[in-house]
Structure 1
Amino acid sequence: MKLCLIGDSHAAMLIAAHRQDPANEVLTVFAKPGLSDKDILLEGSLLHAASKDMRERTARMGTPDTLDLAKFDAVVVAGLAPSAFAAVRLQQTHSVSGWPSGAKAIAQALTDAPPKKARPLMTRAAYLAALTSLSETSLSARVAQAAPGPVAVVAQPFPSDALLDQDGTYPIIRRVLRQRDGAALAADLIAAHRAGFDPLPRTTYLPQPADTLSHGCLTQAAFMRGGPRLSGGSGQDLDDVLHGNAALGARLLAALRVTFRRLAQTASNP
């Protein structure tokens, strides 16, 4: 099977997992840290390296500057979707009505107590609509629409729960946890990803396995510690909490293989 992996630095966990268990697949990688619109050009099913940095990356990886996505059996898009940080930033100045913090804000507003300074309220429907729009207009969606064959979208992992051992870091995530909104945040982000990607032709969204999560919207440190880099060599810094490791990559790769086998069986037995 010929697979094309397109993504940012979060593609590294899948590459590491594939190296450990390549199965019967040929993997072509088109990825760079911080991959953005300026790095690629899509013309029909053709994917071009548009920036100097992207062309240098493809040269180091031995990948051509131009790939025809029609020549692959399947395409995997990794890390180019709205992340947990995007989801938190979208609501950080508001309370969301269906979340625990939103319910508390509503309850306080309905009492006779003197009003407290509170963040404006946003309905959960409005929040989901905004997150879904971010997914629909993401680079993941653009690439998925260009590929004529099966596509699987894998989002950036939720940050590691090791961040809780780092005093003062990631305050917006800590606020979500303190207000007991973690599970609601993760549920809404996954729902928005599904709403944004699953309706696209031949596209499947693969959420992070639920049993790798902790605190609702964090990843267990065992699946993040020692995450690889796209450039190879030494892994991420010891205090990195953003990148999945080969163990998480293996879980996602197994799910990808199940998905592509199912799609192949469906195509052969319409």
Structure 2
Amino acid sequence: MKLCLIGDSHAAMLIAAHRQDPADEGLTVFAKPGLSDEDIRLEGPLLHAASNDMRDRAARMGTPDTLNLAEFDAVVVAGLAPSAFAAVRLQQGHSVSGWPSGAKAVAQALSDAPPARARPLMTRAAYLAALTSLCETSLSARIARAAPGPVAVIPQPFPSDALQDQDGTYPIIRRLLRQRDGAALAADLIAAHRAGFAPLPRTTYLPQPADTLSHGCLTLAAFMRGGPRLSGGSGQDGDDVLHGNAALGARLLTDLRTTLRRPAQTASNP
């Protein structure tokens, strides 16, 4: 089976897992840290490296500047969908009704107590609609629309729960945890991913395995510690909490292979 892996730095965990267990697959990698719209050009099924940085990265990986996505049995898109950080930023100026913090804000507004200074309320439906729109316009969706064959979308993993030991870092995630909103945010992000990618033909969304999660919206450190780099060599810095390691990559690779083995008529959006 010929697979094309397109993504940003989060593709590295899948590459590392594939090296440990290549099965019968050939893997062509088209990836760079921070891959963005400016790095690629799509003409039908043809994927071109559009920036000097992307062309240089492709050359180092032994990947041609242009790939015909029709020549692959499947395309895997890694890390190019809205992340937990994007989801938090989208609501950080508001309280979301239906979340624990939003329910508290509604109760305070309906009480006889003196009005407290509070963030504006956003309905959960409005929040989910906005988050879904981000998915529909993401680079993942753009690539999925261009690919003529099966596509699997694998989002960036939730950050490591090791961030709780790093004082002063990632304050928006810390606020989310204090307010006990983590599980609600994760549920809405996964729902938005499904809603954004489900209508795309031949496209499957592969969520992070539930048993790798911690505190609702974090990843168990065992699946993040020692994450690899796209460039190979030494792994991510010791305090990195953003990149999955080969163990998480292996779990996702197993899910991917299961999906690709399904009959074509049932291989979309579990």
For 1:166, the equivalent position in structure 2 comes to 166
User: CA separation in 1, counterparts of 2:266 and 2:79?
Assistant: 27
Structure 1 segment 121-140 matched on structure 2, within 5 A: 121-140=121-140
Counterparts of residues 78-93 of structure 1 (less than 5 Å): 78-93=78-93
Q: Report whether the alignment pairs 1:7 with 2:7.
A: yes
Deviations 1:114-172 (A, max 9, x none): 01000000000000000000000000000000000000000000000000000011000
Partner of 1:192 in structure 2?
Answer: 192
**Please, what is the CA RMSD of the aligned residues?**
0.9
Q: Cα distance 1:265–1:257, how it changes in 2: closer, same or farther (>3 A)? A: farther
Percent identical among aligned pairs is 89
Distance (whole Å) between structure 2 residues aligned to residue 265 and residue 221 of structure 1: 37
Residues 193-227 of structure 1: per-residue CA shift (max 9 Å, x gap): 00000110000000000000000000000000000
Residue identity opposite 2:66 in structure 1? T
Supply the distance in 2 between the matched residues of 1:198 and 1:63 (Cα, whole angstroms). 29
Matched, 1:257 2:238: no
Separation in 1, partners of 2:102, 2:207: 25
Which amino acid is 1:43 matched to? Answer: E
- Tell me the residue number matched to 2:68: 68
- Distance in 2 separating the partners of 1:93 and 1:82: 18
Q: Counterpart of 1:77 in 2: which secondary structure?
A: strand
CA displacement 1:100-124 (0-9 Å, x = unmatched):
0000000011111101000000000
Aligned to 2:41: 41
Q: Please say if residues 150 and 263 of structure 1, whose CA atoms lie closer than 8 Å, have aligned partners that are also in contact.
A: no
The gaps in structure 1 that reach 5 residues or longer are: none
The TM-score, its normalising length taken from structure 1, stands at: 0.98
Q: Distance in 1 between matches of 2:68 and 2:263?
A: 21
Q: Please give the secondary structure, in 2, of the residue aligned with 1:28.
A: strand
Aligned in 2, Cα 1:132/1:266: closer, same or farther, shift over 3 Å?
A: closer
Q: Secondary structure at the match of 1:27?
A: strand
The superposition leaves residues 62-104 of structure 1 with CA deviations (integer Å, 9 ceiling, x where unpaired) of: 0000000000000000000000000000000000001000000
SS of the residue corresponding to residue 76 of structure 1 reads strand
Task: Quote the residue 1:247 is aligned against.
Answer: 247
CA distance in 1, matches of 2:241, 2:82: 17
8 Å CA contact 1:75–1:149 kept in 2: the answer is yes
Is 1:183–1:216's contact at 8 Å kept on the other side of the alignment?
Answer: yes
User: 1:215 maps to which residue?
Assistant: 215
Distance across 2 between alignment mates of 1:214 and 1:160 = 8
Distance 1:201 1:18, change over 3 A: same
Over residues 38-79 of structure 1, what are the superposed CA-to-partner deviations in whole Å (9 max), with x where a residue is unaligned?
000000000000000000000000000000000000000000
The TM-score, its normalising length taken from structure 2, stands at 0.98
**Unmatched 5+ stretches in structure 2:** none
The residue type equivalent to 2:195 in the other structure is: A
Paired residue secondary structure (2:262): helix
Distance 1:266 1:158 in 2: 28
**Corresponding residue number in structure 1 for 2:157:** 157
Runs of 4+ in 1 over 6 A off after TM superposition: none
- Three-state SS of the structure 2 residue aligned to 1:200 is coil
Q: What secondary structure, in the 3-state scheme, does the structure 2 residue paired with 1:3 have?
A: strand
CA distance in structure 2 between the aligned counterparts of 1:22 and 1:98, rounded to whole angstroms: 44
| Aligned ranges 1:46-57 → 2 under 5 Å | 46-57=46-57
How far apart, CA to CA, are the structure 2 residues paired with 1:168 and 1:66? 43
